[in-house]
Amino acid sequence: MAPVKLFVYDLSKGMARAFSSFTGRQIDGIWHTSVVVHGKEWYFGPGIINEIPGQTILGPPLRIIYMGETEVTEEIIHQHIKDMRVNFTPEKYHLLDNNCNNFSNLFCEFLTGRNIPDYITNLPADFLSTPMGRHFRPMLEIMFGPSRHP
């Protein structure tokens, strides 16, 4: 059995919390997540990448969440990642619909049967439901294409 950990980073470095009063809703961070298993930190950026845990360009994580244990071997993980690469390419990245948190959620589900916390996966919908989010939506959709979020 190998532990599975979710590394959580705030890309805004605290700015989201400081400026959330402008959105009309408390937003504590702009979350980036990765999954650590078998001594590797896996994340979706310019494709699916693995690095030494805590040694990514983002530095140490803000929070580490224990997701459980897995019996999945490194060999099976590599095959699964190979299969996931079809849907997690730079061209298929979408800020709201196909991002690092979507990758982490699917990967954790595969490894442990558990989803990552809702406050992370719900962030795009939460932001889009604010007046500021509704204002920025057209620009985001020009940049990334239409979103599946209502």
Catalytic residues: 32, 100
CA distance to 14, 15, 28, 62, per residue, from 18 (Å): 6, 5, 8, 16
Q: Say which amino acid occupies 24.
A: G
Q: What tokens were used for 136?
A: 């920025």
The runs of H, that is alpha helices, within the chain are 15-19, 74-84, 100-112, 118-121, 123-128, 131-144
First CA to last CA distance, the chain: 40
Q: Which residues contact 27 (CB under 8 A, 6 or more apart)?
A: 16, 17, 20, 123, 126, 127
* Contact in structure between 30 and 11 (CB atoms under 8 Å): yes
